[in-house]
Structure 1
Amino acid sequence: MKSALIADDHPVVRAAVKILLKLEGFKQIFETSSGSEVMPIVREQRPDLVVLDLNMPSLDGLDVLSRIRASGEACRVLVFTSQEAMFYQDRCMRAGAAAFVSKTNDLEHLHKAVHAVMAGYSYFAQLPSTSVSLNTLQRSEKQMIDTLSDRELMIFQYLARGISNKAIGEAMHLSHKTVSTYKTRLIEKLNVVSSVHLRDFARRNHLI
């Protein structure tokens, strides 16, 4: 009997994914809206498939991915997210995901990904060649973004959205001081004048 876990903090998305999984023959479907609840459910219920969003409260999807891989659990993970594939697909692949599907795509892509993953294959988008699709500024900025750690990238997006250090710390279980250190490091790594310019940088690269 095939089972799955849907980890997404949007009820409407969970409902749509649940319908699709039922059509794919999944009989047991578990749900959670919190990243920190994924591992306890995975350990207890042993789902065959985890459909995972990257933006979730308490623990982001990339952290969840690395914990699933480290645990040795046999479930396969399909990342279903609104995050930009250009910056996140390779990270998810390295962290052990079997598939990456953008929420901006038609649900048919999710259907194909589920089918591929359960048949033992992977499912990743063919990304355009950066030398062709990006201008010189975007190429150099993408290279800078690629040097960020997963946590730095997540904090960068929070900051670019105008979220306060305190709120970021609460969301990621970090101290205010630690978030402030990350902010300083990001300003240096991305070669911007101040945190105000982080938003423009993120917007140019479709990260917000």
Structure 2
Amino acid sequence: MIKVLVVDNHPIVTTGFELFFRNHETIQVVGTLSNGVDIFDFVRNNPVNVIISEIELPELNGITALRAIKKEYSHINIIMYSYHPEEIYAISTIKAGASGYISKSENLDFIEKGIVAANKGEVYLSEKMSKHLKYNDARMSKSRIYKRLSAREVEVLKLLSSGKKNKEIAKELDINEKTVSTYKARLYKKLNVNNLIDLVNQGKQIDLT
């Protein structure tokens, strides 16, 4: 049974959770609180697997409580549950240690799946936000690769990506064709590709400005 603590200063929210999960097969609401300070006393005296907490709480806000709880009770997974837009708060709360961010506009099925995922230690976000984060992670990863390229290698890659041939690149950069071939060989190795098509595609995926 997944033991859930709900923290929200609106009785309609905490009561809604209690009613919805009252006879649930795998999820049990073991307590409800209305402020961030009381969380510590509760988890000290009661077994809790997942905490669902509003960000804006009396006395101690949810994000501050999140950081403190994760330091002392790292085994407890926390979902931030708020009316604030996901695109504004999701990333910061995940960085602070949250296992997920759920908007209060989401349906009950989404919340239920979020609790199960958080209990497994997974990060749970909306599909849109998950794609956004994966896209940014990919961009960051590729950016780190390109930082390893020299200024001249970047120039050659730009020109190759624009469709220039070795002879045209040599003329534009005022170097000989053999040198262009040397730079291409270095680019193949650094970008982990083995043909010109893949090399050009890599160049087009990243902003080389």
Give the match for residue 38 of structure 2.
Answer: 37
Give the match for residue 20 of structure 1.
Answer: 20
Give unpaired runs (5+ residues) of structure 2.
134-209
- TM-score, normalisation: structure 2: 0.57
Aligned residue runs from structure 1 range 137-152, under 5 A: none
Does the CA contact (< 8 Å) of 1:46 and 1:75 recur in 2?
Answer: no
Counterpart of 2:52, as a letter, is V
Give unpaired runs (5+ residues) of structure 1.
131-208
Give the match for residue 175 of structure 2.
Answer: none
Q: CA deviation at 1:2?
A: 3.5
Deviations 1:26-75 (A, max 9, x none): 34511110111111111221311111111111110000110111113411
Partner SS state of residue 52, structure 2: strand
Q: CA deviation at 1:94?
A: 0.7
- TM-score, normalisation: structure 1: 0.57
Instruction: Give the RMSD, CA atoms, in angstroms.
Output: 2.1
| Structure of greater Rg | 2
Give the match for residue 122 of structure 1.
Answer: 123
Structure-2 change in CA distance of 1:24 and 1:107 (3 Å)? same
Structure with more contact order per residue of length (Cα contacts < 8 Å, sep ≥ 6): 1
The farther-off stretch of 91-100 and 22-31 is: 22-31
Deviations 1:140-179 (A, max 9, x none): xxxxxxxxxxxxxxxxxxxxxxxxxxxxxxxxxxxxxxxx
The farther-off stretch of 73-82 and 48-57 is: 73-82
Give the match for residue 193 of structure 1.
Answer: none
Give the match for residue 92 of structure 2.
Answer: 91
Q: How many residues align?
A: 130
Give the match for residue 145 of structure 1.
Answer: none
CA distance in 1, matches of 2:27, 2:132: 36
Counterpart of 2:2, as a letter, is K
CA distance in 1, matches of 2:21, 2:119: 11
CA distance in 1, matches of 2:19, 2:26: 10
Does the CA contact (< 8 Å) of 2:2 and 2:119 recur in 1?
Answer: no
Moved over 6 A (4+): none
Structure-2 change in CA distance of 1:20 and 1:28 (3 Å)? closer
Deviations 1:87-137 (A, max 9, x none): 11011101111111100122221111112222332211233759xxxxxxx
